[in-house]
C-alpha cells in the first residue's frame, strides 16, 4: 500500500511539471482528483484493509490528498494569473484601430439647417403628436367633411376620429389655441400619406411648416421671408418665382419655384414649398379675431429640399440606410 501511495505522489509531481495550459491541468485533475481518480481508488482500497493497518495507511493517504490539492491549487492560480496578464498586455507595435464616428442623417442635417435659418429671423420651434384628431388635421384647417380638398391627401385613418397626421399644420392649430398673437413659429416633424412608393413619393416624409400671426401682416412680408430663407439655403444667386396656387387653409395661396440645373443637364423650374395668407375661417376656428389679426403660413418637405440642395433624384434612398450613400454626408 505504501508503494502505491509513493507511486501516485511521484507520478503526480512528474505530470504537474509538464503542465503549461489550463486544459492540461484539467486532465491531471480528472486523473488524480476526480471521483474515479487514483486518489479515490486508494481510499477504496483503504476500506478493505485490516483494522489494525488502517491507522498507518490512512494518515499517509490523507497527507497525499493534502499535497495533491495544494499543488493543484497553486498551479491553477499561476495559470490564471498568467492568462489574465497576457490579456491586458498592449502591443504598441500594432497599427491603431480607427474609431468609426457616426454623423447625423442627411435629412436631419437639412432639417437642422432649415430650423437654424428660421430661428435666426425670430421664429420659435414647436412640435406636436403624430397621431392627430380629424378636427385638428382637417376641419379646423378649413377642410369640412365633404370638402373635395380632402381627396388631395390620402390618409392613414386609425378610426373615424383619429389618423396619422398628413401635414404638421395641426400643430399650428394647437399653437394658436394656446398662444395669443403675435405668433411666429415653425413646426417640424414626420407626416404620413397613403401613397404609392416611387422615386418621387414615399408614405413617410418630414415637413417644416411656418406660421406668423399679428396685426397688419402682409403677403409682401411672406415673400421677403421665404426669399431670404431660400437664398440662405441654396445660395445668394438663386433664381426664384412665385405662382398662384390653392390650399384650403390659405387665401391667397402660392407656390415657390427655384431654377435647378444639374451639371450637364437642361435646367428647369422646381417647386420647393407652398404658402399663403391664413384664411380668416382658420383664425375664427381657433378664437382669433380675423378683423384684427392677419397672418401667413408656409410648408415645405425636408426630403424635397434635400433633393434639390444635393442633386439627388430618388427619395427612397433617404430611407434605405445604405452606408455608401450616407457616408457621403
DSSP string for residues in 189-227: EEEE------SS--SEEEEEEEEEEETT--HHHHHHHHH
Give the pLDDT confidence score for residue 83 in this predicted structure.
67
Q: Please report which confidence band the pLDDT of residue 187 belongs to, taking 50, 70 and 90 as the band edges.
A: very high
> Model pTM?
0.67
Give the pLDDT confidence score for residue 323 in this predicted structure.
85
54 has a pLDDT exceeding 70: no
In whole angstroms, give the CA distance from residue 192 to residue 147.
20
In whole angstroms, give the CA distance from residue 96 to residue 74.
38
Give the pLDDT confidence score for residue 85 in this predicted structure.
61
Mean of all residue pLDDT scores within the chain? 85
Residue pLDDT, tens place only, 263-311: 777 888 889 999 999 999 999 999 999 999 999 999 999 998 998 888 8
Q: CA dist 94 to 83, 89, 90, 193, Å?
A: 20, 12, 9, 53
Domain 106-326: CATH class, spelled out: alpha beta
176 has a pLDDT exceeding 80: yes
- Domain-wise residue ranges, the chain: 2-88, 106-326
Q: Which position has the higher pLDDT, 268 or 126?
A: 126
In whole angstroms, give the CA distance from residue 294 to residue 250.
11
46 has a pLDDT exceeding 70: no
CA-atom Rg of the chain in angstroms:
40
Q: Of 209-213, 235-239, 292-296, 306-310, give the lowest mean pLDDT range.
A: 306-310
Q: Which position has the higher pLDDT, 69 or 39?
A: 69
Residue 91 corresponds to which cell in the numbers above?
502591443
Using DSSP's 3-state secondary structure scheme, residue 261 falls into coil
232 has a pLDDT exceeding 90: yes
In whole angstroms, give the CA distance from residue 17 to residue 5.
19
Give the pLDDT confidence score for residue 149 in this predicted structure.
53
Residue 323 corresponds to which cell in the numbers above?
452606408
In whole angstroms, give the CA distance from residue 221 to residue 182.
14
Residues 6+ apart with CB under 8 A from 76: 22, 25
In whole angstroms, give the CA distance from residue 305 to residue 292.
34
In whole angstroms, give the CA distance from residue 116 to residue 298.
17
Best CA proximity match to 170, nearest among 126, 144, 138: 138
The stretch 13-36 carries a mean pLDDT of 77
In whole angstroms, give the CA distance from residue 247 to residue 232.
26
Give the pLDDT confidence score for residue 1 in this predicted structure.
64
Best CA proximity match to 308, nearest among 203, 255, 233, 207: 233
58 has a pLDDT exceeding 90: no
The stretch 106-132 carries a mean pLDDT of 95
Amino acid at each position: 500500500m505504501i508503494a502505491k501511495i509513493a507511486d501516485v505522489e511521484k507520478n503526480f509531481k512528474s505530470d504537474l511539471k509538464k503542465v503549461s495550459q489550463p486544459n492540461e491541468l484539467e486532465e491531471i485533475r480528472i486523473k488524480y482528483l476526480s471521483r474515479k481518480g487514483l486518489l479515490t481508488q486508494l481510499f477504496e482500497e483503504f476500506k478493505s484493509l485490516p483494522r489494525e493497518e488502517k491507522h498507518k495507511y490512512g494518515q499517509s493517504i490523507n497527507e497525499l490528498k493534502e499535497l495533491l490539492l495544494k499543488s493543484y491549487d497553486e498551479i491553477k492560480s499561476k495559470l490564471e494569473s498568467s492568462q489574465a496578464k497576457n490579456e491586458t498586455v498592449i502591443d504598441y507595435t500594432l497599427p491603431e484601430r480607427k474609431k468609426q464616428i457616426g454623423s447625423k442623417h442627411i435629412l436631419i442635417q437639412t432639417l437642422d439647417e432649415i430650423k437654424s435659418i428660421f430661428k435666426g429671423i425670430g421664429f420659435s420651434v414647436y412640435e406636436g403628436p403624430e397621431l392627430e384628431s380629424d378636427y385638428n388635421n382637417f376641419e379646423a384647417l378649413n377642410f369640412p367633411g365633404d370638402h373635395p380638398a380632402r381627396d388631395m391627401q390620402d390618409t392613414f385613418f386609425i378610426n373615424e376620429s383619429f389618423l396619422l397626421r398628413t401635414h404638421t399644420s395641426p400643430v399650428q392649430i394647437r399653437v394658436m389655441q394656446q398662444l395669443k398673437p403675435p405668433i411666429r413659429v415653425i413646426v417640424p416633424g414626420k407626416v404620413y400619406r397613403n401613397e404609392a412608393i416611387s422615386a418621387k413619393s414615399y408614405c413617410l416624409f418630414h415637413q417644416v411648416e411656418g406660421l406668423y400671426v399679428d396685426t397688419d401682416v402682409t403677403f409682401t412680408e411672406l415673400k421677403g421671408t421665404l426669399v431670404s430663407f431660400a437664398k440662405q439655403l441654396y445660395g445668394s444667386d438663386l433664381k426664384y418665382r412665385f405662382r398662384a396656387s390653392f390650399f384650403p387653409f390659405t387665401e391667397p395661396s402660392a407656390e415657390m419655384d427655384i431654377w435647378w440645373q444639374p451639371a450637364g443637364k437642361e435646367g428647369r423650374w422646381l417647386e420647393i414649398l407652398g404658402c399663403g395668407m391664413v384664411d380668416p375661417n382658420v383664425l375664427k376656428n381657433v378664437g382669433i379675431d380675423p378683423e384684427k389679426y392677419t397672418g401667413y403660413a408656409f410648408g415645405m418637405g425636408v426630403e424635397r429640399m434635400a433633393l434639390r440642395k444635393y442633386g439627388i433624384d430618388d427619395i427612397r434612398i433617404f430611407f434605405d440606410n445604405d452606408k455608401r450613400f450616407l457616408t457621403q454626408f
